Amino acid sequence: MLYFLATTSLTLVQVGAALTTAGLLALPAGPLVGGLVDRYGAKPVLQAANLAQALGFAGYLVVGQTWQIAVCAWLNSAGRAVFFSCYGVTVTALAAPGQRERWFALLGAVRNLGYALGGLLTAVAVSFSTHSAYTAIVVVNALSYLTAFVLMRAVPNSRPEVGQDAAGGWGRVLRDLRFLAVVAHQLCFAVSLFALNIAIPVYAVDVLGLPGWTAGAVFTLNTLMVGFAQGAIVGWLNGRIRSRVLVAGHACFAVGYLLFLAADRVAALALAVGVVLLGAISYTFGEIVGGPITSTVAAESAPDALRGRYLALNQLAVSVAGAVAPAALSGLLSTRAAAIWLTLIGVSVLAATLATTIGKVMPAAQSRIGGV
């Protein structure tokens, strides 16, 4: 948003409309390539996603009209959706059973550290507030995707073995009611994840009137906890039943939301900041505990021959949450403090119920972390 406002003559509304349109048009991208992953393997599709995002960011350098932004942003949004649809297929193929939670945790931690580093570098660049600084941000992003493309060349292509049964295609996926419960759980989990960037900073600064650095502190605390603690915590959970760990993760989310709500009742500024940070810690434990297990359960619940389609549908839940969350959460924030946090507590309760359900019907959710 800042880049387009600084480098084009478009208004905030025009830029927002272009980015929203791009995000909505990108929703079908993941499911559409699910069949390609099952047929040709995940690696070529991942490579295409990296190239699409490199091209999208390169296009930002020359755009000047709303439709041009929408096209380039669509390449980025679609590429991101495709990447995460294939990502779980690749991890599942390369990681041995019993080690997948650890690998999903490690990769999630590395990704969070990447977010932190990217955010820091971007903040430094934006502080100069020059056209060259904004251009540098976009160029580095484009080059990062080209680097990812090169790195992925060393990764073997994961594709179903010859003779595996892929009969039924998408019809078989959509008729699998047990996996649809997994997708519904993923949707609820994703809604909670989007609260970090959409609801919590605005609530802390605009609703509670806390210092602006509070929002940055929450994000930094979350990023560092996930980046440095996720692997160790998942290792500590070794031997626990997956579905029960998921329920515990949603309980951590709910406690965090209760603390955010309680902060609205605290008069002392310093104490309110402390309560918000405690809420952020509890919230982050929910993310740390739930993220790798959610990914592992979804990946192992899918048959090998149709894993591309299954995980594409699961990723669609994340994309839908990402499209709906900004409007839904900002709308709740505009009413009163209780509305958003009680709603999110309800989402956590629903997610915990779904986790219990899939723990009864899905062998992958009934298994213990680490396969012990």
Contact 60, 138 (CB under 8 A): yes
pLDDT of residue 127: 75
**Which ranges of the chain have pLDDT less than 70?**
160-168, 371-372
Residue 103 has, within 13 A of its CA and on its CB side, a CA count of: 16
Can you give the C-alpha Rg of the chain in angstroms?
21
How many angstroms from the chain centroid is the CA of residue 227? 15
Contact 309, 176 (CB under 8 A): no
SS3 label, residue 96: coil
Contact 313, 34 (CB under 8 A): yes
pLDDT of residue 160: 66
Residue among 289, 259, 3, 271 at smallest CA distance from 131: 3
Question: pTM value?
Answer: 0.85
Residue among 186, 188, 180 at smallest CA distance from 343: 188
pLDDT of residue 30: 82
pLDDT of residue 370: 80
pLDDT of residue 165: 54
Cα dihedral value 281, 282, 286, 292, nearest 10 = 30
Question: Looking at residue 370, what DSSP letter applies?
Answer: G
Tokens linked to 37: 């992953």
Summary count for the chain: helices (H), strands (E): 16, 0
Q: How far apart are CA 156 and CA 244, in angstroms?
A: 34
pLDDT of residue 112: 84
Tokens linked to 333: 């924030």
Q: What are phi and psi of 156, to 5 degrees?
A: -65, 150
